[in-house]
Structure 1
Amino acid sequence: MPHITATALRAPAPAQAPARAAELAALAAGHAQRFPWYRDLLLRRGALGSGDSSDLPLVGTGLLGAHYYTAEHPQLPDASAYLTSGTSGGQRKRILYSPADDDAYVAQRRALFGEFTQDVPRGAVAVADLGTGHAAASARRVFLELGFEAHDIDFTRPVDEHVKKLNAWQPQVFFTMPMILDRLLQASPGLDIRPRKIMVVGDVAPPAWRAHVAERFGLRPGDVLDVFGSIEIGAIAYSCADTGLYHFHDHILPEVLPPEDLPGLTEHDRVPSRREGSGALLLTSFARSYFPAVRYVTGDAVTGLRRLRHAGREVFAFERIDGRLAGDLKHGERISNHDLTQIMAEVFPGRPFEAADDDGLVIRVVADTIGDGQLAAVRTAIDRQAPDVAQMIASGLVGPVRVRAVPPDGLRSGHAKRRLDLKEG
């Protein structure tokens, strides 16, 4: 294993180095030219021309909702637009990519997937089953440029059609989402493929989940790659089998802030930082031109941001995504999405599930029945991972966590991402 050294971070120290400071100043100035509202914001703060990250404003959903997601951008005539879920005003978000943005994203994915699949012969079949969005739109291009025979599956088709196509194509490389794969593994007739490499994106995929998938397909855990990305930023990070951490792509400059330092969060939304290097994730991308990715507030809470010396080079890495700042579950106190997904992968391996707020936490899992031992295992694991919740249950302030068996069509999450913040009713 390569020699690894690490330093925990709360702010991105390299941004203060002269070379990186000049790069950051140039990046912000470029966005100020493309987006007049961002220029006005820099001028009001006296930050135009500054390369000190602490001078630059946070770019969060409030600013983007007012000036970017639903605005017209006639100054960007060559932009490609990708739509995602709605803003608070009910309109769908439009995220713009320049041709150079698209090329950079494909190059980042190509480099990562190329190294990950280097022992798979070119000309082998690679399939993407990803739903909608930017990752889905670009996956076939990535595979073709890597020399694979590339296919993708229409997200809107029934699950049995997905299984039929996969069984016919027999992919050696499979790129999908955790929730989709969980559902494919529960389908009847069954999924019968033998991929050599699996990549997943879009949901929390903790080590226990990846280990189960690897075992199911007769693979090593390192043959299942978890990819972290967003439509705003593009490629962000990926799981590393050597370190057990998530490594950021080189174009990303990350930092974390205490959630209480973010504007607009209520006490209900906040996630306490576990230790140095943990908190609300902010990202700056040096590879995005048509999205103002400078200190962008992702909405994710992460644990253990650090700098590593790994395989002869310096990288930023983090331990885990704990969940969404404004979307985590609460059962008296907060339960991290990571912990809940890890627990379910241990107790109900391969079973699709979702969690809802129905006067307390209710977990719905695709199963015929829930055994007493399974229910006890879930509750014990939640008590262990969330001791504040355990104390509130013991005190009678909230009831026990409930787990319910549902049929495959009994989930409300849809076919792609599992939902961990559903409201009943």
Structure 2
Amino acid sequence: MPLSTATTAWPRALAREAELAALAAGHAQRFPWYRELLLRRGVLGSGDLSGLPVIGTGLLGAHYYTAQHPQMPDASAYHTSGTSGGQRKRILYSPADDDAYVAHRRLLFGEFTRSVPRGSVAVADLGTGHAAASARRVFLELGFTAYDIDFTRPVDEHIDKLNASRPDVFFTMPMILDKLLQARPGLDIRPRKIMVVGDVAPLAWRAHIAARFGLRTEDVLDVFGSIEVGAIAHSCAETGLYHFHDHIVPEVVPPEKLAHLTEDDRVPSRQEGSGALLLTSLARRYFPAVRYMTGDAVTGLHRIRHDGREVFAFERIDGRLAGDLKHGERVSNHDLAQVMAENFPGRPFEASDEDGLIISVVADRVGDDQIAAVRAAVDRLAPDVAQMIASGLVGPVRVKAVPLDALRSGHAKRRLDLKEG
């Protein structure tokens, strides 16, 4: 397929600006706080990305995640880990949002599994949230015999169900798949296609998984999504890049531009380069996904021509910049800082989700009672993570003592969230 860096302006620039203006106006009607923000900036009715506000965790925590939304009586609610106020985040989907998400996944998965006969078995083994709730519907609409596995069940039950159903198509999370492959008695399945979502799955990992199952690397698809935005992007074997879905307008911003962002700060739009990722979804209605700050860092955002059309693409996801980590499900950075302050007061630490959740704390030793206290606190503050640990799908939180010069960050209390490699 032809591949080249796009050198001309976006061919639908004027139409896209009108779409963005209509999108922002719709969110202003649904969310009064967003309307006030646009009015204060004087950009109500504008489709210029540079003028529209960046939507970060501060605004969402104050106005969306725990707020009541009586104007959306038909909404479905999905919950994830806590906000700084201790309440769980609630993300709303309209019926149209659900339909759009399923359509995006159906299009992608349908193309990816086109060599697998319809009627074959497809199994989803995911955590919680919208992807897990929607997976079976996607597979059924594609014509597969579809099953999903309850993430609350112990890992040996996952193995038994998978070995019994022997899926031709398997949709799971990298961390869960790693755990399943380590379990005994062993996983004995021969899927023809594997899709993963929820954790960074670099090319080397996908190649290893493909070899483990006797597949080609291109038979393992890495899917990038979030409960806030929905379907975002996916790996492309032909180009070696990640391609954004058509409803996504991505931007990158230098991370330092977002470090002390206020509601009134204006952040120029940049649709090429590397940095912190901002996303706008033209399909999302019950979440204000306009210049939404995802907390992810990406490398190499640019526009390409592929298969006769222009698409946004990027090279890789470098990891998390702020907000939360992943240990099967999300762990709030705020919650983690609180846990460490209670159990290791004044001690510098870092946290990484590089190989499960590992907390490195500056200390001569870490006692068993301290580890137990940290784990109990994480269980309390992130119940979905606690359930996945109890089920054996992810390992327990690890805490290790390190000398000060072993910390990778330049600031004593900075938490390092990036997966390296």
Tell whether 2:45 aligns with 1:46. no
Q: CA deviation at 1:357?
A: 1.7
CA distance in 1, matches of 2:17, 2:169: 40
2:118 equivalent in structure 1: 122
2:69 to 73, 80, 95: 73
1:221 to 217, 223, 232: 217
CA distance in 2, matches of 1:336, 1:319: 22
CA distance in 2, matches of 1:209, 1:227: 14
Secondary structure, aligned partner of 1:305: strand
2:285 equivalent in structure 1: 289
CA distance in 2, matches of 1:299, 1:93: 15
1:241 to 219, 237, 241: 237
CA distance in 2, matches of 1:122, 1:82: 30
CA distance in 1, matches of 2:42, 2:184: 61
Tell whether 2:105 aligns with 1:106. no
Q: Quickly say closer, same or farther: Cα 1:313–1:413, change in 2 above 3 A.
A: farther
Tell whether 2:6 aligns with 1:3. no
Q: CA deviation at 1:241?
A: 0.2
2:361 equivalent in structure 1: 358
Q: Quickly say closer, same or farther: Cα 1:73–1:422, change in 2 above 3 A.
A: farther
Q: Given that residues 177 and 203 in structure 1 are in contact (C-alpha distance below 8 angstroms), is that contact kept between their aligned partners in structure 2?
A: yes
CA distance in 2, matches of 1:49, 1:184: 50
Q: Given that residues 101 and 288 in structure 1 are in contact (C-alpha distance below 8 angstroms), is that contact kept between their aligned partners in structure 2?
A: yes
1:179 equivalent in structure 2: 175
Q: Quickly say closer, same or farther: Cα 1:47–1:16, change in 2 above 3 A.
A: farther
Q: Given that residues 130 and 416 in structure 1 are in contact (C-alpha distance below 8 angstroms), is that contact kept between their aligned partners in structure 2?
A: no
Secondary structure, aligned partner of 1:288: coil
CA distance in 2, matches of 1:354, 1:414: 16
Give the counterpart letter for 2:5 in structure 1: A
Q: Given that residues 178 and 417 in structure 1 are in contact (C-alpha distance below 8 angstroms), is that contact kept between their aligned partners in structure 2?
A: no
2:149 equivalent in structure 1: 153
- Structure 2: gaps (5+ residues): 262-271, 326-332, 334-347, 366-385, 402-421
Q: Which runs of 4+ in 1 moved over 6 A?
A: 332-337, 411-414
Tell whether 2:205 aligns with 1:206. no
CA distance in 2, matches of 1:79, 1:143: 23
Q: CA deviation at 1:220?
A: 0.1
In the TM superposition, what whole-angstrom CA distance separates every residue of 1:144-163 from its partner, at most 9, and x where no partner exists?
A: 00000000001010100000
CA distance in 1, matches of 2:391, 2:297: 24
CA distance in 2, matches of 1:15, 1:35: 31
Tell whether 2:22 aligns with 1:23. no
| Percent sequence identity over aligned pairs | 74
Q: Given that residues 80 and 88 in structure 2 are in contact (C-alpha distance below 8 angstroms), is that contact kept between their aligned partners in structure 1?
A: yes
2:28 equivalent in structure 1: 32
1:313 equivalent in structure 2: 309
In the TM superposition, what whole-angstrom CA distance separates every residue of 1:147-196 from its partner, at most 9, and x where no partner exists?
A: 00000001010100000000000000000000100011011111000000
In the TM superposition, what whole-angstrom CA distance separates every residue of 1:105-144 from its partner, at most 9, and x where no partner exists?
A: 0000000000000000000000000011100000000000
Give the counterpart letter for 1:355 in structure 2: I
CA distance in 1, matches of 2:257, 2:283: 27
Q: Quickly say closer, same or farther: Cα 1:306–1:46, change in 2 above 3 A.
A: same
Moved more, 41-50 or 16-25: 16-25
Give the counterpart letter for 1:104 in structure 2: A
CA distance in 1, matches of 2:239, 2:119: 31
2:369 equivalent in structure 1: none
Q: CA deviation at 1:102?
A: 0.1
Q: CA deviation at 1:311?
A: 0.8
2:299 to 281, 303, 320: 303
CA distance in 1, matches of 2:283, 2:357: 35
Q: Given that residues 8 and 305 in structure 1 are in contact (C-alpha distance below 8 angstroms), is that contact kept between their aligned partners in structure 2?
A: no
Q: CA deviation at 1:260?
A: 1.3
Q: Quickly say closer, same or farther: Cα 1:354–1:128, change in 2 above 3 A.
A: same
Q: CA deviation at 1:264?
A: 3.3
Secondary structure, aligned partner of 1:304: strand
Give the counterpart letter for 2:198 in structure 1: G
Q: CA deviation at 1:261?
A: 1.1
CA distance in 2, matches of 1:174, 1:324: 26
Tell whether 2:190 aligns with 1:194. yes
Tell whether 2:260 aligns with 1:264. yes
Aligned ranges for residues 60-99 of structure 1 at < 5 Å?
60-99=56-95
CA distance in 2, matches of 1:114, 1:359: 49
Q: Quickly say closer, same or farther: Cα 1:123–1:245, change in 2 above 3 A.
A: same
In the TM superposition, what whole-angstrom CA distance separates every residue of 1:270-308 from its partner, at most 9, and x where no partner exists?
A: xxxxxx610010000000000000000001111100101
CA distance in 1, matches of 2:390, 2:82: 16
CA distance in 1, matches of 2:125, 2:392: 11
Q: Quickly say closer, same or farther: Cα 1:6–1:66, change in 2 above 3 A.
A: same
1:268 equivalent in structure 2: none
Q: Given that residues 354 and 413 in structure 1 are in contact (C-alpha distance below 8 angstroms), is that contact kept between their aligned partners in structure 2?
A: no
CA distance in 2, matches of 1:305, 1:333: 32
Give RMSD over aligned pairs: 3.0
CA distance in 1, matches of 2:49, 2:392: 40
Q: CA deviation at 1:336?
A: 9.1
Q: CA deviation at 1:18?
A: 1.4
- Structure 1: gaps (5+ residues): 266-275, 342-351, 363-408
Aligned positions, number: 349
